[in-house]
Structure formats: C-alpha cells, structure tokens
Amino acid sequence: GNISRQEAVSMIPPLLLNVQPHHKILDMCAAPGSKTTQLIEMLHADMNVPFPEGFVIANDVDNKRCYLLVHQAKRLSSPCIMVVNHDASSIPRLQIDVDGRKEILFYDRILCDVPCSGDGTMRKNIDVWKKWTTLNSLQLHGLQLRIATRGAEQLAEGGRMVYSTCSLNPIEDEAVIASLLEKSE
C-alpha cells in the first residue's frame, strides 16, 4: 500500500494545478483516487508543516467508487481530505464560517477530470475499440460541459482549474473548453 502505480500521463493534471499547502481544492470526479492522493501528497509536500491549512474535497457521483476514494485516502492518514458523493454537474456550494459570518467557499484549485469515452486509452484497452462510436462523445459533451461550468462557478478569483479527459476527441476536449469560455465570457 505504500506505492501505487499510475501512468505518467495521468499524473499531469494534478501537477498543472501547482498545489500549495494552503490551497482549498475540489476534485470533482475523483474516483478511483490516484489523482486525489497526488493532490493530498502535494498539500503535505512541506514536511515542516504537519497539518497544512489547505484541504481536498474529493467528489464522485458513484457511491461504490466513493468507497475506493476513502480506501485510497486512508492510506495517507491525512486530516485534510473529505470524500463526498454528489453529481459533479450540480455539486452544491458550501458555506464556511469566517469571523462569525457565513461565506460561500470558493476553491483555489479545481481538478475537473471528467467522465469520457476513453478513446485515448485504445492502445492499452482493446475493449474501447470494440465499443467506440461517434455517438459516445456527442452524448458525453453536454455532461462534460455542465461539470466544467459548475467547476468554473466555484473557482476563486485568481484560482486555477484543470480540465482533463483520457480522450483524444476534440468534441470532449477543445469543444468543451470553447463552449465554457463562450458561456462564461
């Protein structure tokens, strides 16, 4: 349990977030949890700070996959993780107490690694070839855009959101970002 395998390409999105120990982080589609554990490790990167003030909220829509998240997070024994089970496209805004008054929580960093067709994994996952259709990406585009939009709505001013998929299809990647930018001006 001390070492977990992950493809190098899967490690890139958390690295692009440039997490610091004070960051409030939302991982919108977190299961099975490899990227989440990376984020937690980044929070704890400064060994002189035993309890960083930042935290990770790891969300997944699938209840069973949330158990995987909990299992992964428990290995790290970090007090800075909370696992939630919600539809990322409508994840609620949280309120925090700041000097006795309620304020909406905005995140410094958001990882938006959305559900996708997985066509970028065809070299290692032969089943993707058998099941792939053009309709997959078209059906996923709307969900991906809703999740990315909800992430952008919860991002703090000056914060950073990384959108990623394991797809090579522009409908799932560039088209989602183009729509998000157009929608949010």
144 SS3 class:
helix
Q: Which helix (H) or strand (E) holds 103?
A: strand 101-104
Q: ∠ CA(28), CA(10), CA(152), 5° rounding?
A: 30
Annotated ligand binding at 108? The verdict is no
Annotated ligand binding at 34? The verdict is yes
Q: Which of 80, 112, 116, 166 is catalytic?
A: 166
Annotated ligand binding at 31? The verdict is yes
Is 66 in the active site? Answer: no
Distance of CA 64 to the CA centre of its chain: 17
C-alpha dihedral (36, 21, 152, 148), degrees to nearest 10: -10
Annotated ligand binding at 33? The verdict is yes
Annotated ligand binding at 97? The verdict is no
Annotated ligand binding at 173? The verdict is no
- Residues identified as active-site: 166
Binding site as annotated, residues for S-adenosyl-L-methionine: 29-35, 60, 87, 113
Binding site as annotated, residues: 29-35, 60, 87, 113
